[in-house]
Structure 1
């Protein structure tokens, strides 16, 4: 009977130990060092980069054209928030002709850790009380002389 108790105890401990293990997850672009190393400035263009690496995670909207390939590995212990273990960003910039100008890769050293300040977001402007928020616009919207539709049908009379 002691052997069955020991086996049962070992099974319970094994189940508890696996329940406390870290959950690993990958998000984003799966980096392949060989493919990333094959993107050469002055040799490749947009078409060859897309054929080699696939579509970028996102592209720049302003300024010089940049394609970003972003991937993260996270780990999460039970009852905690996930934390970034490994993070890679490949930024491929293009010149005016569409050829690769630079291909720069950064890692987890560039990740910014933010600590939000509770439930309040600081903003510019006047702090208003609840009553000012509730009654502050009375008489403001659609007031006479504001260029809206007046009684009688003609705009701006």
Structure 2
């Protein structure tokens, strides 16, 4: 009887610890090192890169033609926000004719972790109180607008 209680207790502790473990999740492009290494400057073009690596995560809109393949590995503990553990960006640069000029890879060194200070966004201007919001427009209705020469609108 005592061993059954001990086994049930151990099973309960194991279940509680399993519930506290982090959940891994992959987001974005799945990097295949063999395929990435096969993209060669001077040999490949946009069509061959799309055939090898697939559709890019995003492309540049201005300046030189660049395709970006973005991959992130996150972990999330129960009741917490996901946390980025690994992050890789593969940038494939093309010339105006569509041929691969270079490839470059960046990682976590470019990830900036930000922590918002509060749930309010600071804005320009002065802050008004409740009574100013409630009675602030009294006396302004029907007054002349600058440059209109009369009351109200233009026209």
TM-score by length of 1: 0.81
TM-score by length of 2: 0.82
Q: Which runs of 4+ in 1 moved over 3 A?
A: 130-140
How is 1:135-146 mapped onto 2 (pairs within 5 angstroms)? 135=137, 143-145=152-154
Matched residues, number? 143
Q: What secondary structure, in the 3-state scheme, does the structure 1 residue paired with 2:85 have?
A: strand
Aligned residue in 1 for 2:103? 103
Q: What is the deviation of 1:65?
A: 1.2
Q: Which runs of 5+ in 1 are unaligned?
A: 146-155
- The C-alpha deviation readout for 1:99-135, integer Å capped at 9, x for no partner, is 1111111111211111112123234x42342546974
How is 1:65-104 mapped onto 2 (pairs within 5 angstroms)? 65-104=65-104
Q: What secondary structure, in the 3-state scheme, does the structure 1 residue paired with 2:8 have?
A: helix
Partners of 1:118 and 1:28 in 2: how far apart?
29
Q: What secondary structure, in the 3-state scheme, does the structure 2 residue paired with 1:52 have?
A: helix
Q: What secondary structure, in the 3-state scheme, does the structure 1 residue paired with 2:7 have?
A: helix
Partners of 1:135 and 1:112 in 2: how far apart?
44
Partners of 1:118 and 1:91 in 2: how far apart?
35
Q: Residues 30 and 144 from structure 1, CA distance in 2 versus in 1: closer, same or farther, beyond 3 angstroms?
A: same
Partners of 2:77 and 2:84 in 1: how far apart?
12
Partners of 2:126 and 2:52 in 1: how far apart?
53
Q: What is the deviation of 1:90?
A: 0.5
